[in-house]
Copies of this chain bind each other. A is one copy, B any other.
Amino acid sequence: MSAAPRPSEAALIARFFAPLAGPGTEGLRDDAASLAPTPGHDLVLTADAIVSGIHYFPDDPPASIARKALGVNLSDIAAKGAAPRGFLLTLALPGDWTEAWLAGFAEGLGQASRDFACPLLGGDTVGSGGPALIGVTAIGEVPAGAIVRRTSARIGDRICVSGTIGDAALGLRMRLSPEAAWVPRLDADARGHLADRYRHPRPRLALAPALLRFATAAMDVSDGLAGDLAKMLAGAGRGAVVDVAAVPLSPAADCAIRMEPDLIEAALTGGDDYEILCTVAPGDLDGLRAAAATAGIALAVIGTVVSGGGPPVFRTEAGPARVFTTGAFSHF
């Protein structure tokens, strides 16, 4: 019903996306790709979309947006214990897209694709009629039957989280309220760290083998630790007790929270961490920690799975235990 005086979709694909194409795609000159898992493996499939003005800022660099779109999907792949095999891209562009933007996007997507060893397998480019939307379907693989599920935690399991929590939520706050008192009091490195963590998810793909071997359940933290932990354990009919002091914070987040203690709530409930939340039987905890260390990924023990299905209880040394009943940050 509408046609813009623009390069054809075929020309865009050939110029920007064919260089990213993996095997089985005929260089994106066909309408579908073929893919077989490594013998003895299952494929693992997930889809997440990010929308301009909702999941990222319209003026974010296009290379960052591309990395985020792929990264948030590969975070799910990692949490299932899987290794990436490829992805499909649905790119819905606003009416005012430019070739410079698209070139930057494709450049960033190509770099992320190489960094994560995850080639492009196909996709579609359409006009959005509104803001940009970048939809990705990511495909990984695990040994047959070995996918690490979300709702399989058991009572007594220890709860672990990778990396650090809250950086992205604070990076987003900083961006939305640069006039907040705590922001200028952080040094430039700390501000840069928080901003980068919001913009550039780091899917914990290196942790996948450790999860496969030791975790009883896992998911990625995308909508806030408190809400995602609640989802994980509600699905298992379990609860959790979390020691807030054990939740791993970066020096930047720690510094911000010392200046403004209420920010701990943003850190625990804000989204976009893209860390791994997992549970492990107490007897496998040392094994999981050693495997994570070998993978070069920090892993903190933050609590324990308990019976009963209420929301996770967050305990602090000083002050009452907290329950975050409002749930997770919602992207929707």
A interface vs B, CB < 8 Å? 1-4, 6, 8-10, 12, 24, 26, 29-37, 41-55, 76-77, 79-80, 82, 88-90, 92, 94, 121-131, 133, 135, 137, 139-140, 142, 144, 147, 149-151, 172, 176, 219-220, 231, 235, 327, 329-332
- Chain B residues with Cβ under 8 A from A123's Cβ? 47
Given A2-B54, A88-B47, decide whether A332 and B127 contact each other with a Cβ distance below 8 A: yes
Once the chains are docked, how many angstroms separate the CA of A24 from the CA of B53? Answer: 33
Give the contacting residue for A89; candidates B47, B149, B219, B220; CB below 8 A: B47
On whether the beta carbons of A139 and B10 are closer than 8 Å, the reply is no
Once the chains are docked, how many angstroms separate the CA of A12 from the CA of B79? Answer: 23
A229 CB → nearest B CB, Å: 14
Instruction: State the 3 A-B residue pairs at the shortest beta-carbon distance, nearest first.
Output: A130-B130, A137-B137, A32-B46
On whether the beta carbons of B137 and A88 are closer than 8 Å, the reply is yes
Given A8-B330, A36-B37, A80-B31, decide whether A129 and B130 contact each other with a Cβ distance below 8 A: yes
A120 CB → nearest B CB, Å: 11
Closest residue of B by beta carbon distance from A56: B1
Once the chains are docked, how many angstroms separate the CA of A140 from the CA of B6? Answer: 32
- Chain B residues with Cβ under 8 A from A35's Cβ? 42-45
- Chain B residues with Cβ under 8 A from A149's Cβ? 26, 30
Closest residue of B by beta carbon distance from A131: B129
Closest residue of B by beta carbon distance from A7: B332
Closest residue of B by beta carbon distance from A58: B129
Once the chains are docked, how many angstroms separate the CA of A52 from the CA of B127? Answer: 10
- Chain B residues with Cβ under 8 A from A12's Cβ? 332
On whether the beta carbons of A47 and B139 are closer than 8 Å, the reply is no
29 contacts between A and B (CB under 8 A): A1-B176, A2-B53, A6-B332, A8-B330, A9-B331, A9-B332, A10-B231, A24-B42, A26-B149, A29-B151, A30-B219, A31-B80, A32-B44, A32-B147, A34-B45, A34-B80, A34-B147, A35-B42, A46-B122, A47-B90, A47-B135, A49-B90, A49-B126, A51-B126, A52-B129, A88-B137, A90-B90, A127-B332, A130-B130
